[in-house]
Amino acid sequence: MQEPQVNHRSLAGGVVLTTVTGQSAGPTLALLGGVHGDEDEGVLAVRLVLSELRGLPLRGTVRAVAVANPPAWDAHSRTSPLDGGNLARSFPGDPADGPTAAIAAAVTAEVIEGSDALVDLHSAGIRYRMPLLAGYCADGPAGAASERLAVAFGAPVVWRHPASAPGRSLSVAAQAGIPAIYAECSGGGSIRAHELDTYVAGVLRVLAELGMLPSSGDRPAPPRWVHGQGDLDTGAAAGGHGFFVSSVRAGDVVRRGEEIGRFHDHDGESAHPVVAPGDGMVMFLRRQARTATEDVLFVLAGLDGREEAGA
């Protein structure tokens, strides 16, 4: 068996595109890691996948970018120090709109467009916690195919969004009719072995689902299903400066009125509970205690019927 061919090419903003071409024709997978500079898990997972592919009978092409946001990566920051831009809110981008938008435009044109599927590997970053999950957008002609890829990925939770939010890599894919999923995990500046293993195995299972690799026969356990908009910028926000003390864990299922945490003012003389506005799963939970006004404290996802039935 001949090894796949590997090529590297520089794009805008220091981004390096690695293209892996199999020995026979087939689909093209776009693979991203490090869209946020404080999320190491996806970067390492992409690099491990590329290493795995050297010894596998790949059909088609993998276009991989990790690190996707070099300025933010160098600064260990969610956003770029060059312009404060959040790459995950900048797609499809425009080179005339600044460094972050230029990276988004290059990734859109050179990686996402013309592909047959997209996998974008994220994590909760330094300031937040999230459960290990795969998410997808159910709207548009690629919704059903995106769901199949999310299930194939094998994360323990699948988050179904009714529509794609603007500025995301998934929104570019949705507009082009390209099936797309993303993944999240606990973050915090460290990498957990089981989460990294899930990311690597998940991408390989997606490749098998697309017919780009032979199926290993590995069948992950059925996921827990949740649904909701998934816009992490619009979660429950702090009403002032102080300390947030969490009472639950990311991935916990809570009921309306249950305490999510407590918010203490800076002098410690007053505190009030932060409670769930409804039933749901905790998908995004603030890790960093020191909190400023309007910082997001948590996001809930609704319990899907399949979740309630124990599917």
Percent of the chain with pLDDT over 70: 98
As a whole number, mean pLDDT of residues 268-279 equals 91
As a whole number, mean pLDDT of residues 29-57 equals 97
**pLDDT computed for residue 230 by the predictor:** 84
Mean of pLDDT over the chain:
95
Q: Which residues contact 269 (CB under 8 A, 6 or more apart)?
A: none
Name the residue with higher pLDDT: 89 or 308.
89
As a whole number, mean pLDDT of residues 120-125 equals 97
As a whole number, mean pLDDT of residues 36-51 equals 98
Its pTM stands at: 0.96
- Where does the chain hold its CATH 3.40.630.10 domain(s)? 5-221
- Where does the chain hold its CATH 2.40.50.100 domain(s)? 234-308
**pLDDT computed for residue 3 by the predictor:** 87
Phi-psi region of 134 (alpha: psi -120 to 50; beta: other; left: phi over 0): beta
pLDDT at residue 2 tops 90:
no
pLDDT at residue 63 tops 90:
yes
**pLDDT computed for residue 308 by the predictor:** 42
As a whole number, mean pLDDT of residues 85-95 equals 97
pLDDT at residue 307 tops 60:
no
CB 291 within 8 A of CB 242: yes
Percent of the chain with pLDDT over 90: 88
Residues 176-222: pLDDT tens digits? 999 999 999 999 999 999 999 999 999 999 999 999 999 988 888 99
Which CATH code for domain 5-221? 3.40.630.10
**pLDDT computed for residue 5 by the predictor:** 96
Give the β-pairing of 157-161 and 133-137. Answer: parallel
Q: How many whole angstroms separate alpha carbon 230 and alpha carbon 283?
A: 9
Residues 232-272: pLDDT tens digits? 888 999 999 999 999 999 999 999 999 999 999 988 888 89
pLDDT at residue 306 tops 70:
no
Which CATH code for domain 234-308? 2.40.50.100
Structure tokens at 15: 């981004």
pLDDT at residue 297 tops 70:
yes
pLDDT at residue 311 tops 50:
no
